[in-house]
Structure 1
Amino acid sequence: MSKKRKILLILILIVLLLGIFGFLGKSKPVAEPGIVASPKIFAHRGAIDQFNESTITSYKIASEQNVDALEIDLRMTKDNVLIVMHDETIDRTTNGTGRVSDLTIREIKSSVTLGQYNGEITMEEIPTLAEVLQTFGSKQKYYIETRLVYGETVMEEVLVRVLSEHHLLDKEIVAIQSFSEKSLEKMAVLAPDLRLTLLFKKGEFDLEKALAVDFPVIGMESTDASVEAVNALHSQGKEVHVFFNDLETLEEQQEKMKELNIDGYFTDNITFTKRLLGE
């Protein structure tokens, strides 16, 4: 073997060794402490693993399990009443059909939610936001999600009026979340004392935007959460609240979120989450 060839092989070996040692020397990012001392548990649409979602009974079960807040999705009826409903239509969760925004509250109340509990068929009215607030009052905390109606910010004024009527315009009792910046900006004007959370849809999380917006809490789907992103948000004093789209992987994902020191869990399984967090 020629001298030049030997030198070349030695140089290649040195480069390979430096690469290996460099790779081994890279330490895995460490999760920084969370903003809150104890992560919060939010009952996603109530105790939906135990009763029909977004019903008074579902929220009662969750409340009895001492969650930190009841997570409530809002929709607005044709006659401007806020009801507790996740979907645009009532088709999936009730025995009725139609878009909420095309139905009056009277038409909404003619349908019932359907489910199973302890092996029996269960039925319950779709509640209005006012009915939920009247049921629990200030004894329970609420995490309310707003959304645009046909692209417009029209439910926010109604929401503030309902909260005011129940004496619940209190940041210690009510927090507002939304995927819509427009909605949150309007809520910031109408109810400046309430804490606001900007949500990001699954696969659409934007760390640069999350750091730049003037909201104290950022919400994201669990598969978008990383130690780098959570650390960056925590470094700016922003809480990180996580939701879980896949029920089959919920427990596995929540265990991963615990390692990242997130600040809040939107959970569909209150019992598991409380056990995970040692409550």
Structure 2
Amino acid sequence: MCRAGFTDVTKVDVHGPDFRLPEGTELAYNIIHGTFGEDGTLQAILEERGVPYTGAGSRSSALCFDKSESKKVFLDAGVPTPQAEILDCSNGIVMPSLPLPFVIKPPCEGSSVGVHIVRRQEDVLPAMKEAVTHGTTVLVEEFIQGKELTVGILDGKALPVIHICPRSGFYDLSNKYPWMNMGGGTDYICPADLPEETAAKVQEAALKAYKAAGVEVYGRVDVLLREEDGAPFVLEINTIPGMTPSSLLPKAAAASGWPYEDLCEKIAELSLATPRK
């Protein structure tokens, strides 16, 4: 961070709402993924304390973290997204009515936790039972066969499309973080090897979703490109995407002429200029 022009930087390990920041903190650089850091909770605390922070605000963060709620916003805005149903299993498991194959996922988990691609009827109930261990609401989406893509967005502009190529299966926890569980791993192609017109369609769909959800500063939109006709389908928006030099958004930024240090500084500048409600 110092190389990016920040001369007085303090690392704060946040474990709950009572975290302490150094006196006179001018900007909290949020790089916490998942619950608390990406779901709007941390943002709301910082807003209450009057501390500027990086990235999306509390409302857009909470919306995007809940895939069932962001799905509704996508549909209302005409964003291309897989057909889906949201099942309330608070009084017991409700079986999906979509035709097989489909994807069962808990709506408020990241890193593909609890995600199951279901192709056989006998696998539906076990997948539903596992999904409800993460919460009583379950999102079921039609299965889209095709390329897994992601689009970074910075200051309202789409970065080059990245093609995510798992070495086996789909982009699940073991392929995202192979060092954690000796999984298969993933290759990333940036920019994706797509016709210019197709890449533009993917970026357009990602931007439409990003704007519909009201995301501020930057983010990353996951998109499936259907194999049969090249149609894009938005899955979700990551409001706190990985920000290590090897993470996906920095890869796309680098391909667009933004070195890592410049990207970090740009995010800080944009965030400081963004009003918080």
TM-score by length of 2: 0.28
TM-score by length of 1: 0.28
Between structure 1 and structure 2, the one with the greater Rg is 1
